Amino acid sequence: MQDFYNSDAMITAAYVIAAVLFILSLRGLSSQETARRGNLYGIIGMAIAIGATLANNPDAAITTTLANNPDAAVAHAAAAATRGGFHALLFGAIFVGAVVGSIMAARVAMTGMPELVALLHSFVGLAAVLVGYSLDLKTQHSLAHRIEIYIDVWIGAITTTGSVLAFLKLRGSVSGKPLLLPARHFLNLAMLAGSLVCAFYYAKTNNQIALEIGTAIACVLGVHLVAAIGGADMPVVVSMLNSYSGWTASAAGFMLGNDLLIIVGALVGSSGAILSYIMCKAMNRSIWNVIFGGFGAAPPKSAGGPAQPQGEVQEIVANELADQLKEAKSVVIVPGYGMAVGRAQHAVRELTEVLRKRGTTVRFAIHPVAGRLPGHMNVLLAEANVPYDIVLEMDEINDDLPATDIVMVIGANDIVNPAAEDDPSSPIAGMPVLQVWKSKLVIVNKRGRAAGYAGIDNPLFYKPNTKMLFGDAKDAVEKVVAALKS
């Protein structure tokens, strides 16, 4: 029995159980109702995976130790010391990582979650690069193994630098405007060709210089691909980087001969790619546009030039809005990144409760790329305990907007911009948007008159059935709630 617990069969069984739990975790994360259970499955699966790794002895190091000590007693003592040192290093790394991760999780606000996710993707890529180099320095490898090392390091380098730049863009340290260099597609192709040449030379000669040059090219390529993506497409970029990190982990699994890492990496990579495709479809973007950095990003020019907004902005104050809400029978709330910045989700939930107690039908309309992270608004509303059954996706609620009395847009801009449908010269032309302007009254809450994250003016603000409620989202909604209660 003891032999079984230390056998490869036991390790394999643990890996299979962990893999199943990871699949169930992804399934659970597909909806708010099962998200907690999905997270729990993932935690248990990771605990089993770490336990199996600890039980899997560092065979190569122990074999070397035994071979170098002809005396059996001395050899086994040395092997035990080697195993103990390995476990001590592993436990130390886990402890340090747990402390750093706990501090980051405790300190980050929901507004900082998108950039944190992007930064964490860079850790995956960097780990793959470092592991690849450590294996390359260790011993001579077969042709297949060298190919695995190069692919792992190359994808990891792209993921690392691309994720760091995405982090800086989302944080605001770097402009969200796309950097469209002349002949950028030729530059991408040249870097890809250079990478293939380095891969061929490294695989044939095992020359580390080729691996280093290929890594440098991949780092530049990662920066260039993400730099060419505009602010409006950043949620898709985060999702795509998530996919890259998964494929990086899967490549590392082949490199290390670890079946579980291959499975987990493939799960993350494929799910991230599928999510990116869904989001691109929701934005009328080509998936190749995201992958190749702005390919085909330029919209067609209209003959008369960009449409100019007409009319004046109409303002409304909290008391007036409360009076309008008292008369409304149906209200739809459209949350955006401004709600996250103002941390207004709890105030919005209180507004929802007050209106529903008065008999008003209240629902939420969620655009697939609202916020700066896939599912950003869903997470915020779930945190505030907004009932799941009144949170609807764009396709589920767009047809109901013409019959809606009031639509409240809280901190959203580009996802409700009619220029996507009316102005062929707009950078977001063709992007499906929430058609809030078709409702009887639109209330837009913004802190100021500035354009949204994509830097595009919004003709919605000037429509005759639109009124602007200026101010911080939390403060503005709380004033409306207070007026309703009075």
pLDDT of residue 81: 57
Reported as a single tens digit per residue, the pLDDT across 150-162 is: 999 999 999 999 9
- Read off the pLDDT of each residue in 116-122 and give the average, rounded to a whole number: 87
Question: Residue 188: pLDDT band by 50, 70, 90 thresholds?
Answer: confident
Reported as a single tens digit per residue, the pLDDT across 278-297 is: 878 777 777 776 666 554 44
Q: Could you give all domains of the chain from N- to C-terminal order, each with its CATH number?
A: 112-298 (no CATH), 318-485 (3.40.50.1220)
Per residue, the 3-state secondary structure of 191-260, as one string, reads HHHHHHHHHHHHHHHCCHHHHHHHHHHHHHHHHHHHHCCCHHHHHHHHHHHHHHHHHHHHHHHHHHCCHH
Judge whether residue 309 has pLDDT over 60: no
- The span from the CA of 4 to the CA of 384, in Å, is 48
Among candidates 124, 38, 45, which has minimal Cα distance to 375?
Answer: 38
Question: Residue 92: pLDDT band by 50, 70, 90 thresholds?
Answer: confident
High-pLDDT (> 70) share of the chain, %: 84
Q: Which two structure tokens, joined as six digits, stand for 7?
A: 């056998």
Residue type, 484: L
Burial code (b: 16+ CB inside 10 Å, e: under 16) for 305-343 equals: eebeeeeeeeebebeebbebbeebebbbbbbbbbbbbbb
Asked if 467 contacts 314 with a C-beta cutoff of 8 angstroms, the reply is: yes
What are the catalytic residues?
A: 414
Phi then psi dihedrals of residue 362, to 5 deg: -120, 130
- Read off the pLDDT of each residue in 383-411 and give the average, rounded to a whole number: 92
Asked if 272 contacts 239 with a C-beta cutoff of 8 angstroms, the reply is: yes
pLDDT of residue 303: 39
Among candidates 228, 223, 112, which has minimal Cα distance to 171?
Answer: 112
The residue assigned the tokens 């993350």 is 268
Question: Residue 455: pLDDT band by 50, 70, 90 thresholds?
Answer: low
Phi then psi dihedrals of residue 199, to 5 deg: -65, -45
Question: Residue 302: pLDDT band by 50, 70, 90 thresholds?
Answer: very low
**Enclosing H/E stretch for 268:** helix 259-282
DSSP 331: E
To the nearest whole number, what is the mean pLDDT of the chain?
83
